[in-house]
A and B are shown apart, each in its own frame.
Chain A
């Protein structure tokens, strides 16, 4: 990427030069197109010069500049050990790492830097190894067998290993070689620490990024020749003859440690088993035993799962008056993990029905406890604001017929009219009378509803629905009420009811926490189970592959009979040991 920005773009080598006046551009989609400045023509088809001239004209810089590396400090990834031969790739695959870590963005960002990756379209990270002793650094092996180091913390990648990492890599190589030798001898190795899952994810991210530019390859292939050289770092162990020709489906041949043989998988299984603290005999024996063994911790009983589901319904503030179909259609609860604690839709629906019934009952009780909201309160406030002696009732009604207070069906039209007329009549009275009326009203209120702690915004409804209350303007009324309230004694005390409620609430909370813990345990176990199944599958596949290979070998018996086969096997062995020697030599 750096490279393409600094070097002047060259005309692609494989294609004939453009005729004069034509320029090459890249569409945002990545397609190349050609534009003639003089005739204002543009075309996807490459125009070809009529006469054989070749003044090496440079097409203008590509207008579409891939932005993906603008954020990376130019000196950063390559730093002091900038190696002009090897540039491009680690940077390009940093995108791969980014994709692996935040997958959401990976695809999008990956689409931008196809220019970089087209040089190594075949190459992509294949395996990642932790380097012992250099924590954030990982060693990444690509499909072509090349290796680079990547810092997980700083997101830096280098072809050339930095000094301190180099030691770690050397150490790593030594361990690897020992492991391989041991494997050849048929002994199990202990410290197999490849993490299959990680590698898978990693490769997956990389392929996801590589996929969209597939169709562009044809156009892009043109200047791939100048970056063709496959570099090899100094301590690269195996020099495969031509690794890019290797098929994915090919069986592991010639001692390449990259491919997973059945042995590898078996070792991983062993490692996994150790991780979970199992005996070697246990992990191969099918999942059922595991399940029962793990299930002794915090079991998820039927009531618990039901209660969890009810918690879920509570948490999402679902209306109990809604329909089940609608809730499912909305699908908010489906994403929650607690949705799956009940195994079938029928059970869920039953649980929902029960929950709704209970919820509605409790709602009803709550409402009974609450005092009924008087429909007159908003109407009174409305009257205070809008009623004038200038309007008769029919006029007033017509003028404000759109207002919700006037449309409210709880209050009949007759009542409304009556209140209006009385209010208008009262407005005509002198202020002194209104004031004395208000004090009389205030005095008539019992101490339990109106006392010193009453605030102006929470006055009792008996006060709010009285005409005497709204006859005075708020500006004169509020000070009056305030002074009256301040003269009142405090409320009679009866607030020792909530202690029992508190205890009950605490109990409920504890119960809920317990259930949630159980759910977490269960989920963990399911994950484990999934991983194990995957591993089993891979073992099975490995075995199948091996059998196929054996079969193929067996089929290869020609006229020479058994002897030739034996010879072939020997050949194999010799080659494997050769590779081992090579590695020794390279150290």
Chain B
């Protein structure tokens, strides 16, 4: 029978610089927990996951900014964060592509999941929408995430 190993004693510590962002990440985690436990009373069925998507987006954006924009964290720490699911690597991969700089979630560009094999309404630039047409997409509650806006 294998030895049952517990606790942090066999775990590697996170890379340097993690202490700086630990608080903010903890806050995101708490927010996520609150969103998970929030009541669904009075919400539409498709609305229920919106806060989850939003917090994931925010947290991924935070780490993306820290690494690519502010160059505040090291490569090792960034990789470690991705490995530990602090950020969505696939979403960040899209952000690096032209035209997807503000993408809200991966669902919104899945053309195969829609009836007319098109992207979500939130991907449409504001200029091409009708005047005073407000949109909020069904998949994540995004109000518009095209790069030109």
Contact = CB atoms under 8 A, between A and B. Distances in A.
A410 B20 CA distance: 16
Given A409-B11, A409-B12, A323 B71 contact: no
B25 to A, nearest CB: 10
Interface in A393-411: 401, 407, 409-410
Interface in B51-70: 58, 62, 65-66, 69-70
B111 interface: no
Contact of A360 (B12, B58, B62, B70): B70
Contacts of A410: 13
A320 interface: yes
A176 interface: no
A353 B61 CA distance: 13
B70 A409 contact: no
A326 B55 CA distance: 13
A326 B24 contact: yes
Contacts of A326: 24, 27
A413 B24 contact: no
Given A357-B70, A360-B72, A409 B24 contact: no
Interface stretch (B2-10, B79-87, B130-138): B2-10
A321 B13 contact: no
Contact of A323 (B10, B11, B12, B62): B62
B7 A401 contact: yes
Nearest to B27: A326
Interface in A351-379: 353, 356-357, 360-361
A357 B58 CA distance: 19
A413 B8 CA distance: 9
Contacts of A353: 65, 69-70
A344 interface: no
A322 B62 CA distance: 9
A321 B71 CA distance: 11
Contacts of B14: 409
B129 interface: no
Given A401-B7, A409-B11, A413-B10, A356 B24 contact: no
A401 B70 CA distance: 38
A321 B24 contact: yes
B72 A357 contact: yes
Contacts of B27: 326
A325 B68 CA distance: 19
A360 B71 CA distance: 8
A321 B27 CA distance: 13
Contacts of B11: 409
Nearest to A407: B8
B29 to A, nearest CB: 14
B93 interface: no
Contacts of A356: 70, 72
A409 B8 contact: yes
Contacts of A321: 20-21, 23-24, 66, 72
Given A321-B20, A321-B66, A360-B70, 18 more contacts: A319-B20, A320-B70, A321-B21, A321-B23, A321-B24, A353-B65, A353-B69, A353-B70, A356-B72, A357-B69, A357-B71, A401-B7, A407-B8, A409-B11, A409-B12, A409-B13, A413-B9, A413-B10
Interface of B: 7-14, 20-21, 23-24, 27, 58, 62, 65-66, 69-72
